[in-house]
């Protein structure tokens, strides 16, 4: 493979990793639905349901991402640039969810 082809392939691989649905992200993190459910203190069926949803609370998505070891960042993208939205992070820091509380599904 030529250096140019290799560079294009690496760029495409990075783009693909930058965009993925929740179930693919969980697979990439090598986590089962059962293990994630245990961390979130919900049942496996609820994890499956969350992974199929197209609309959910930001707090639910944040909990899901954090259970996989990540951190949720939200940004608005405009033609002249992107802006990171931080107000949701402030809410998470000022009012952490108790460990025993169930996620809304």
Which SS3 state, helix, strand or coil, does residue 78 take?
Answer: strand
pLDDT higher than threshold 50 for residue 53: yes
- State the pTM of this model: 0.67
75, β-bridge pairs: 84
Which of 20-55 are b and which e, b meaning 16 or more Cβ less than 10 Å from the residue's Cβ? eebeebbeeeebebebbbeebebeeebbeebbeeee
83, β-bridge pairs: 76
- pLDDT tens digits for range 74-99: 999 999 999 999 887 655 554 444 44
Q: Residue ranges of the domains in the chain?
A: 3-94
Any idea which architecture 3-94 has in CATH? Answer: Orthogonal Bundle (1.10)
Question: What is the rounded average pLDDT of the residues 44-69?
Answer: 95
């Amino acid at each position: 493979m030529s250096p140019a082809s290799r560079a294009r392939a690496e760029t495409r691989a990075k783009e693909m990793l930058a965009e993925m649905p929740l179930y693919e992200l969980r697979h990439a993190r090598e986590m089962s639905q059962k293990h994630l459910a245990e961390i979130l203190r919900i049942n496996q069926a609820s994890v499956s349901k969350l992974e199929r949803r197209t609309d959910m609370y930001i707090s639910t998505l944040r909990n899901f991402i954090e259970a996989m070891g990540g951190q949720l960042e939200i940004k608005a993208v405009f033609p002249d640039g992107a802006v990171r939205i931080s107000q949701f992070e402030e809410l998470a820091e000022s009012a952490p969810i108790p460990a025993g509380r169930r996620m809304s599904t």
